Amino acid sequence: MTQYLSGTLAKGFKILEYLQQHTTATLNEVAFDLALNKTTAFRLLASLVELHYVKKSHQTYTLATNNQLLTQFNPPVLNWVAVPITTQITKKYQVTAYIGILNGPNVVITQVIGFDDDLSEYAKIGSAAPINESALGKAIVAYLPRSKVTALVTQLKSTATKYTLNDQALAQNLAITRQQGYSLDDEESSFGIRCLAVPIMKDGQVIASLGVAGPLTRLKRQRLKQIAHDLQTCRTEIGLQLT
Amino acid sequence: MTQYLSGTLAKGFKILEYLQQHTTATLNEVAFDLALNKTTAFRLLASLVELHYVKKSHQTYTLATNNQLLTQFNPPVLNWVAVPITTQITKKYQVTAYIGILNGPNVVITQVIGFDDDLSEYAKIGSAAPINESALGKAIVAYLPRSKVTALVTQLKSTATKYTLNDQALAQNLAITRQQGYSLDDEESSFGIRCLAVPIMKDGQVIASLGVAGPLTRLKRQRLKQIAHDLQTCRTEIGLQLT
DNA sequence: TATTATATTTCAAATAATGAAATTTTACGA
DNA sequence: TCGTAAAATTTCATTATTTGAAATATAATA
């Protein structure tokens, strides 16, 4: 809280962030643009130079490119927002987690978070399923504007010829999804496999879904509320990192 | 010079560097290992938390992963939306597609879009290669500001000891990349494997690259323009979905 | 539940940060 | 090359922040 905020640290980072955006700058520019006294700016820059976060050359300053903190933080794979958070769930329940996004009337799996070293699940990246036949799909569609849902259903009907899509059943299913906060696929896609999913929101809009899939023995019916709760906690943290 | 060194800034960065090495730490550990008064450590950590450089959870501190100064820009949404868009290309040409982002003087693969059940490709997620030894890397660097390219080359030279980096050859290669709109790796990384990549832009700046890799029989030299054109169409669509 | 350890807050003293003014250095034009 | 103006750096005095011990609160462990 503000009670302990160090003004010196705040100003120091302000300068670093400014140099990240501007690549190079003079003392005059830094002081003026950041509304700092030029003496203060001078001293802070001198400190940053001495600490190897900034380089000074011919009276211009640049971010130090060989500073380990600035350039060699976590490898990007670890920054896959879903992975660190979601791995707790995949390990806890020994199931695979997935992220899906909408693509026309289908949902496409775009990220897989396995619970062991088995890479076989990754083959699902890129695979698509109709929105009504997947927990990931229903978790997205349940939170779309009604007009968009209607358009997607129309689109589905024109492509799905092997069966007649039951609008009323789907609408009812989506209402249940909204009510309980998660969508469910109970052996509908694969025998013995249960799937749950929750929407991932950004700025109040659904942009993706997060779900888990696994055998009925691991995703027991009486655990569904707990699992859904964990998924909701997870998607909230993912959502926070997307902003 | 020492004359202007701010102790507060020095201590603040000391803490950040400590957290980079230790991933997580308690107040006690930080204070003890860095020989700081625990009240001082507490206040500095509180400031770093408020400035979004450190995260505090259950009395343990970690570096903030969504801080743009500390973390390479790697929006997970990029890895998500790229999947359905790029699937058209992977199916059409029967090759694997990749997303790469810059990380220091390396390019790191953050997403793989496979076309068959070859799971070994997914193990490449997280792997890094020097920017000049990868089509994905060259596709990014070719569109960076000249000053940043110079800095990266300098950094590469100070790490790469097994060979002498040819500045002029690289500069020429990057000029060709800009001219033809895509970068090429013709069996330079793997025997019999050809790679092409194009930059992914956002707000006029390169943020990642999209590339394909496959055997010479599928990525025939006379098809390269068509493939590059398809990649450019894809990257434009990806770029549109990121805004 | 009690005890111990860790974290946070309070208080008073010490130190550093701050900014104006002065001085030096750099850049530019004649 | 010299003079001028602008930018950068140093000096000085004042103000504000940082500091750390002590006290208090919270969390963890037996």
Q: What is the mean pLDDT of residues B182-188?
A: 88
Same domain, B140 and B186: yes
Please tell me the total count of domains within chain A: 2
Residues 3-42 of A with CB under 7 A from strand D: 6-9, 26-28, 38-39, 42
**B47/A6 CB distance under 8 A:** yes
Q: From the alpha carbon of B36, which nucleotide's C1' atom is closest?
A: D20
Same domain, B238 and B154: yes
Total number of residues shown for chain B: 243
Per residue in A73-106, pLDDT (tens digit) is: 554 544 555 566 777 788 788 888 899 999 888 8
Instruction: Give the model's pLDDT for residue A78.
Output: 47
> How confident is the prediction for chain B on average, in pLDDT?
86
Q: What is the mean pLDDT of residues B92-98?
A: 91
Give the number of C-alpha atoms closer than 13 A to the C-alpha of residue B215, restricted to the C-beta side: 3
Distance of CA B15 to the CA centre of its chain: 25
What is the span of the domain harbouring residue B22?
2-63
Q: What is the mean pLDDT of residues B155-168?
A: 69
Q: What is the mean pLDDT of residues A123-143?
A: 88
Given a cut of 70, is residue A222 above it in pLDDT? yes
What residues contact B203, with CB distance under 8 A and at least 6 apart? none
Given a cut of 70, is residue A21 above it in pLDDT? yes
Look up the CATH number of the domain holding residue A14: 1.10.10.10
B84 token code pair: 């359905």
Instruction: Give the model's pLDDT for residue A143.
Output: 93
Edge-first strand order for the sheet with B24-26 is B24-26, B60-63, B54-57
Cα–Cα distance for residue pair A148/A179, rounded to 1 Å:
20
- Strand ranges in A24-73 using DSSP code E only, listed in sequence order: 24-25, 54-57, 60-63
Same domain, A122 and A206: yes
List phi, psi (to 5°) of A194.
-110, 140
Instruction: Give the model's pLDDT for residue B163.
Output: 57
Which of B3, B4, B68, B91 should one mutate to test binding to chain A, selecting the residue with the greatest count of A CBs within 10 A?
Answer: B4
Residue B70 falls inside a structural domain: no
- For tokens 């496979």, name the residue: B114
Total number of residues shown for chain A: 243
Among the listed residues A121, A132, A208, A243, the one whose alpha carbon sits nearest the alpha carbon of residue B80? A208
Tell me the torsion sign for CA atoms A61, B2, B17, B49: negative
B20 token code pair: 């980079």
Look up the CATH number of the domain holding residue A223: 3.30.450.40
Q: Of B13, B119, B125, which is closest to A123 when you measure between CB atoms?
A: B119
Distance of CA A152 to the CA centre of its chain: 24
Same domain, A166 and A225: yes
Stated as kind and residue range, the H or E segment containing A197 is strand A193-202
Identify, with chain letter, the residue nearest to nucleotide C19 (CA–C1'). Answer: A37
Instruction: Give the model's pLDDT for residue A162.
Output: 54
**A65/B9 CB distance under 8 A:** no
Residue B69 falls inside a structural domain: no
Residue B235 falls inside a structural domain: yes
Residue B88 falls inside a structural domain: yes
What dihedral do alpha carbons A33, A37, A41, A47 form, nearest 10°? Answer: -160
Burial B153-164 (b: 16+ CB within 10 A, else e): bebbeeeeeeee
Q: How far away is chain A from the Cα of B130, in angstroms, using its nearest Cα?
A: 14
Same domain, A59 and A109: no
Same domain, A57 and A83: no
Which of B36, B63, B90 represents a domain boundary (last residue)? B63
Cα–Cα distance for residue pair A52/A103, rounded to 1 Å:
47
Edge-first strand order for the sheet with A96-103 is A128-130, A106-113, A96-103, A205-215, A193-202, A183-186
- CB of B139 within 8 A of CB of B199? yes
Residue B100 falls inside a structural domain: yes
Cα nearest neighbour of A82 on chain B: B76
Same domain, B95 and B22: no
Same domain, B40 and B121: no
Q: What is the mean pLDDT of residues B173-200?
A: 90
Which band of pLDDT confidence, cut at 50, 70 and 90, is reported for residue A160?
Answer: low
* pLDDT-wise least confident of A26-40, A100-114, A117-131, B13-27: A117-131
Instruction: Give the model's pLDDT for residue B128.
Output: 80
Same domain, B134 and B59: no
Residue B85 falls inside a structural domain: yes
Residues of chain B contacting A46 with CB distance shorter than 8 Å? 1, 3-5
Computed on alpha carbons and rounded to an integer, the radius of gyration of chain B in Å comes to 21
Same domain, B57 and B81: no
Cα–Cα distance for residue pair A162/A130, rounded to 1 Å:
13
Same domain, B138 and B42: no
The answer to whether the beta carbon of residue A8 comes closer than 7 angstroms to any atom of strand C is yes
Q: Tell me B175's DSSP state.
A: H
Instruction: Give the model's pLDDT for residue A243.
Output: 56
| Pairing between β-strand B54-57 and β-strand B60-63 as defined by DSSP bridges | antiparallel
Cα–Cα distance for residue pair B156/B27, rounded to 1 Å:
37
Residue B22 falls inside a structural domain: yes
Cα nearest neighbour of B11 on chain A: A9
Per residue in B99-154, pLDDT (tens digit) is: 998 877 888 888 888 887 777 777 777 778 888 889 999 999 999 888 778 778 87
> How confident is the prediction for chain A on average, in pLDDT?
84
Same domain, B112 and B34: no
Q: What is the mean pLDDT of residues A168-186?
A: 89
Which of A26, A46, A71 represents a domain boundary (last residue)? A71
Which of A24, A43, A71 represents a domain boundary (last residue)? A71
Identify, with chain letter, the residue nearest to nucleotide C18 (CA–C1'). Answer: A40
Q: What is the 3-state secondary structure (H, E, C) of A132-158?
A: HHCHHHHHHHCCCCHHHHHHHHHHHHH
**A51/B125 CB distance under 8 A:** no
